[in-house]
Amino acid sequence: MKENSEEILSLDSLSIGYYSGKTENVLLPPLSAKANSGELIAVIGRNGIGKSTLLRTLAGLQQPLGGEIYYNKRNLINYSRMQLAKEVGYISTEIIKVSNMRVYELVALGRFPHTNWIGKIEFNDHKAIMDALEKTSMGSFCDKFVSELSDGERQKVMIARILAQDTGLMLMDEPTAFLDVAGRYEVLHLMRKLSGESQKTIIFSTHDLQMAISQSDKIWLVLDNRLFEGAPEDLMLEGAFNHLFNSSTVIFNSGDGTFSFRNESRGNIFVEGEGNKKYWTESAINRAGFTVSEVKTFPYVTTPSESNNYWRLSTHTGMLEFSTIYEMISYLGKK
Amino acid sequence: MRTGTKENFPDDSISGRKYNLIFFSLMIILVILLILDIFFGSVSISASEVIRAIFTHTNSSFETIIMRFRLPKALTALTVGVALSLSGLQMQTIFRNPMAGPYVLGISSGASLGVAFVILGFSSGINGDSINALGNWILVVASWAGAGAIMILIMIISSKVKDIMTLLIIGIMLSSGIGAVVTILQYFSNETMLKAYVIWTMGSLGNLTEGQLTILLISVSAGVIMSILSTKILNALLLGENYARSIGLNVRFARGAIFSCTSILAGSVTAFCGPIGFIGIAVPHIVRIIFKTSDHRLLIPGTILMGGAVMLISDIISQLPGSENVLPINAVTSLIGIPVVIWVILRNRKFSGSF
C-alpha cells in the first residue's frame, strides 16, 4: 500500500468511559483506529454507545481510562491544553446562547490559542477569521448576532470558529443533528470541501448512515465489543453494518446501502420497465409487502412508457390499469 | 461587511471609532457626575466656595465639609460602583446567567456573614466606633472569605441546576439562611458587640474612616487590575466550560482567578458599606445595551465607567439636592436597578438561557 497522506491521529487500545465515584464505568473496550490528514471520518454507532464520550476524550476534555492517543505521533498526555488547542478543534451538540455576541466575535474566539494576553485581534488573526467566514460562506454574516441565526447558519459559524482556530483535526459531535434536510446537506458538503481542499481531518459522529456511507472517506463503526474501521464500501462488503441492527425487523441492504423492513412476503411481483420508473415502482411494491421477483411471471407490473400512460398490473385473470403508483399500491394493499 | 484587507482592518471591535466616542462620552459624564456629587449635599455650598475649598487652604467649615466628608464620600461612591458592577459582570459570565450578581446570589450576604463573625464572634478588641487599622484588614479579609465561600457554594449548585430562575431562588434562600445565622449570632452576643454590628449594617457611603477608604481603594484597585487581566479568560468562558477548554483555557485556574477577583471586589465593598443591592446585576446589562457586544475587552472598561457613573447618580439622588434629608443609598440603588432586572427577565422569556 502506498502512503500518500500523513497519519494525524492514532488510538492505541484506548478505553473510554467515566468515573462515578470510585468505580470505573467503561463504555467502550480498548479501541484502536487511525486517521490520516484530509480524511472525513464518520463515527457511527447506536445511541448511548459512547460516540460523544469518544469525541470528548479525543478532544482532551475527558481522561481516557486506559490506552493512548497520539496526535502527530506525540502522546496526548504530553500536550498542554494550549498546545492541544492548536491541534484539535471541537464542536459539541451544545448550543451557544449568548445575546449581544456577533458572528465575528464568536469566530474570533477561535483565535484564543493564537492571541496575546488580552485577546487582541492582530491583522493575521483578522485574516484567519475572514478566511474562515468566507470558506463557510458566512462572510456577509459578520455583524449579525449569533442569536439571530438559523440552526444551519449557526452550525456553519461554529465550523468557521474551529477553522479560525487553525487546527489540523476537527471533531464534531453530531454536526447535522438538529438541521433540516437542506441544512444537513449544506453542512456535510462544507465538511467534505474542507477535508478535500483545506486538508483538514474531520471526525464526526452521526446517525445518518446513508449520508455517512455516501460522503465519508472512512467509517469508524462503534459496536459493543469492537470498532470496525475502513472505507464505507469495505465495511459494506464485510457486512459490518448488519451488527448495528440487533432487531430482526430491519434489514440493511449491502447492495445499495439502504434499509428495509423484514415483513412476511405477500408474494412475488415482477416489474417491467426502465430507469427511474422501474426503481420507484419496485420500491413501492417492496413497501406494500411484496418481493420483487427476478423472472417475468404473473403477476407483473408494466411501468408507463411512450405507448402507454398507465401502470399495468397483469395477472392470470386479466389486466388492471392505474394512473399513479398510489392507486396501484392502494389496490394491492386491499388484496 | 468586513473584508480581509488591511485598510478595513481597524474596523474590528476594539478600535472602532464609535466605541471611542462612547468611551469618551462616558468619561466626560463620569467627571461631571463626580463634580456634581461634591457640589450637592445636605448643606448648600456655593460653587465658588467648593472650588475655593478644594484648591486653597482656608480652614473654613466649608473646607471641612468638602475635604473631610464630600470628597471621600464621592470617592467611595465611585469605588463602590466600579467594584460591584465588575463583580456582577464577572459573575454573569462565569455562571452564564443574566440574573447573576453579588447581591441577588447572596455573595454580599456571605460577606456580611464574615463581618458578623468578626464583630459578633471575636471582637473583644474591636470597638465599633473606632476599629483600628488591623481590625479593618481583618474585617475585609473575613468579608472576602464569606463572599468566596458563597461563590463556591453557588458554583456547586449551579453545576447541578441549569435553570436561571431556580438559581436565583436558591440565591435568595442562601441570603435568608445567612440572615438567620446572623440573627443567631446577634442573639448570643453582648451589648457592645451588637451595637458595633448594628452600626455596621447601617453603613453607608459616608461613614468610612480615612483608613477604611484607603483599604477599600487598595482592594478595589487590585480587583480592577485582576479583572483587566482576566479579559481573555472571560471571553472564552462565554462559550461554556467545554468549548472554553477546547480552545485552550485552563478552566480550573480561570475559575479560581475570577472567584478571587469577584470575592475581593464584592467583599471589600460589603465590609465597609454594607450590602448594596442591584448595582452589580443592572450595570453590566446597561453596558451591553449600549455597546451591543459580548467582548469583555469593551465590556470591562465600559462597566468600570458606567458602574462609577450609576453609583454617583444614586448618591446624588440620595442626598435629595435642595433638601436637608438623606435617603438610604440601598433604597436608591434598588429603585434604579430593579427596573433593569425586570426588563432582563421579561426579555429572557423569549431567548431562554441567553444573556
Domain boundary among A253, A277, A292: A253
Copy the grid coordinates of residue B280: 452589580
A129: domain CATH number?
3.40.50.300
Contact criterion met (CB < 8 Å) for B1 and A123? no
Choose the weakest-confidence range: A33-42, A122-131, B156-165.
B156-165
Does residue A245 sit in the same domain as residue A277? no
Q: A288 lies in which domain range?
A: 268-334
Does residue A273 sit in the same domain as residue A238? no
pLDDT digits (tens, 9 = 90+) for A29-65: 889 999 999 999 999 998 888 999 999 999 999 999 9
Residue A307 lies in a domain: yes
Contact criterion met (CB < 8 Å) for A101 and B238? yes
Residue B176 lies in a domain: yes
The verdict on A62 touching B (C-beta cutoff 8 Å) is no
Residue B257 lies in a domain: yes
Q: How confident is the model at residue A89 (pLDDT cuts 50, 70, 90)?
A: very high
Pairing verdict, β A300-302 and A311-314: antiparallel
- B225: pLDDT strictly greater than 60: yes
Residue A39 lies in a domain: yes
The verdict on B12 touching A (C-beta cutoff 8 Å) is yes
Average pLDDT over residues A139-154: 92
A223: left (phi over 0), alpha (psi -120 to 50) or beta: beta
Q: What is the pLDDT of residue B199?
A: 74
Does residue A248 sit in the same domain as residue A272? no
Contact criterion met (CB < 8 Å) for B294 and A101? yes
Does residue A88 sit in the same domain as residue A162? yes
Q: How confident is the model at residue B79 (pLDDT cuts 50, 70, 90)?
A: very high
Measured from the Cβ of residue A107, the count of other Cβ atoms closer than 10 Å reads 28
Given a contact cutoff of 8 angstroms between Cβ atoms, the answer to whether A206 and A43 are in contact is yes
Placement of cell 474590528 in the chain: B12
Does residue A198 sit in the same domain as residue A286? no
Copy the grid coordinates of residue A190: 462544507
Q: B240 contacts in A (CB within 8 Å)? A: 94, 96
Angle between helices B191-201 and B107-116 (to 10 degrees): 150
Does residue A156 sit in the same domain as residue A281? no
Contact criterion met (CB < 8 Å) for B2 and A104? yes
Please tell me the distance in Å from B248's CA to the nearest CA on chain A: 4
Copy the grid coordinates of residue B250: 485552563
Q: A89 contacts in B (CB within 8 Å)? A: 246
Q: B294 contacts in A (CB within 8 Å)? A: 98-102, 105
Residue B355 lies in a domain: no
- Higher pLDDT residue, B210 or B12? B210
Cα A192 → chain centroid: 11
pLDDT digits (tens, 9 = 90+) for B302-346: 999 999 999 999 999 998 877 778 888 888 999 999 999 898 888
Q: B328 lies in which domain range?
A: 44-348
Placement of cell 438559523 in the chain: A150
Residue A261 lies in a domain: no
Contact criterion met (CB < 8 Å) for A96 and B243? yes
Contact criterion met (CB < 8 Å) for A94 and B3? no
Copy the grid coordinates of residue A144: 449579525
Pairing verdict, β A40-44 and A218-222: parallel
ipTM greater than cut 0.90: no
The verdict on B2 touching A (C-beta cutoff 8 Å) is yes
| A31 closest CA partner among A55, A61, A2 | A55
Q: What is the pLDDT of residue A255?
A: 66
- A258: pLDDT strictly greater than 80: no
